[in-house]
Amino acid sequence: MKETIFDVLMYLFEHYMEDELEILPDSDSVRTELLAAGFEQVEVNKAFVWLESLSLQRAIKPTIPTSFRIFSTEEQAKLDLECRDLLMFLEHCGILNSTNREVVIDRALALEDEELTIEKLKWIVLLVLLSQPDEEIAFSRMEDIVYDLVPTYLN
């Protein structure tokens, strides 16, 4: 089975990010563990670049309380109608703000060769919210959606 960047990100989330570990291992030992787990070096490197790019966007602060979003042709090609609807729904519900929405879109587009499904997009939203300061409530609400802990009429 061909492992993808997304598979590496999910492995990292499940083993390092989800438990809010106080002492995180250094990146070299994490890379070694990922290689030992069977991930290819190229995919591991791409996942680390993806996460590093995400951390660079941490300082962005929303400037406009509401905004209107038009998706570019490239974004429409990557994010099908169901994915775009999910983003708008999450923003309407207050889980995403306009700034976090843009980070999610950026990180989705950064998964160049990945086929993006609505389930993968939910995980990307979760990873973005985890990386943002003061987004604990939004993260918790999104976690409920990812793990199907929300009544279906709210999905």
Q: Which of 76, 75, 51, 31 is nearest to 131 (CA)?
A: 51
* pLDDT given at position 62: 55
Q: So what's the pLDDT on residue 23?
A: 44
| Contact yes or no for 116/82 (Cβ under 8 A) | no
User: pLDDT tens for residues 96-128?
Assistant: 998 899 999 999 999 987 889 999 999 999 999
Say if CB 105 and CB 75 are below 8 A apart: yes
> What's the pLDDT score for residue 21?
43
